[in-house]
Amino acid sequence: MSDVISREVAGVDEVGRGPLAGPVVAAAVCLDPDHDWSALRDSKKLSARRREQLDAYIRENAACWAIGAASVEEIDALNIRRATHLAMQRAIAGLSPPPLQVLVDGNDLPELDVPGRAIVGGDAVEAAIAAASIIAKVHRDACLRILHEQYPDYGFDRHSGYPTAEHRDCLARLGPTPAHRRSFAPVREAIAQRELPL
């Protein structure tokens, strides 16, 4: 993990590109160099409990942070790549003060008003990106728990909308909910199957 931590550099990461349902969520974080960030890791390498602990620490001690999202309707209208960029742009726009540089996890940089750099595996090497990955993941998981309360038969609390065998079986049996991304092939196929004449 990089030792270079600056209030002027925002780390940005997203979660939720691959799921068949729910929003895509991005977070942007500028870390305060006066605090200890040595515990930060890529969110995927942390337990849910540890993510939530670090999420609270980041929110309390970061120089600034913000979350942006793109809805299912925006994903279907724009495509997932452009919707992900929109979520990132919204997160960055929410930072106050605005950053002077942006580091984005991955190899796909959205249009920015400030200098930016895409870093493959950035959540493993840049603390600010790791922080963004954590709060984006915790926020989206909370969104999916709400979806689970609305549609308890689909298992959103277990698979978070990803195309697991359980989720695809639910789609086939029950059809899509309003939270499903109709531009994604498995959802389109489930709709087409239900429209076939008996």
Residue 133 falls inside a structural domain: yes
Residue 72: what residue type?
V
* DSSP category for residue 44: G
Residue 191 falls inside a structural domain: no
CB 40 within 8 A of CB 130: yes
Distance from C-alpha of 144 to C-alpha of 133, rounded to nearest angstrom: 16
Closest CA to 13 of 39, 33, 42, 34: 42
Distance from C-alpha of 184 to C-alpha of 198, rounded to nearest angstrom: 25
Domain extent for 63: 9-149
pTM score, whole prediction: 0.93
Q: State yes or no: cis peptide before 99, omega within 30 of 0.
A: no
Distance from C-alpha of 131 to C-alpha of 59, rounded to nearest angstrom: 9
Residue 188 CB partners (closer than 8 Å, separation 6+): 182
Residue 184 falls inside a structural domain: no
SS3 16: coil
CATH of the domain at 17: 3.30.420.10
- Number of domains composing the chain: 1
Is 149 exposed, middle or buried, given 0-12, 13-18 or 19+ CB atoms closer than 10 A?
exposed
Angle among Cα 135, 109, 105 to the nearest 5 degrees reads: 40
Residue 30 falls inside a structural domain: yes
pLDDT of residue 196: 52
Tens digit of pLDDT per residue, the chain (198 long)?
A: 766 699 999 999 999 999 999 999 999 999 999 999 999 987 888 899 999 999 999 999 999 999 999 999 999 999 999 999 999 999 999 999 999 999 999 999 999 999 999 999 999 999 999 999 999 999 999 999 999 999 999 999 999 999 999 999 999 999 999 999 999 999 999 888 876 554
Closest CA to 81 of 45, 106, 60: 106
Residue 112 falls inside a structural domain: yes
Angle among Cα 118, 184, 160 to the nearest 5 degrees reads: 75
pLDDT of residue 4: 67
DSSP string, 139-155: HHHHHHHHHHHHSGGG-
Residue 162 falls inside a structural domain: no
Residue 172 falls inside a structural domain: no
Closest CA to 22 of 121, 154, 132, 174: 154
Residue 134 falls inside a structural domain: yes
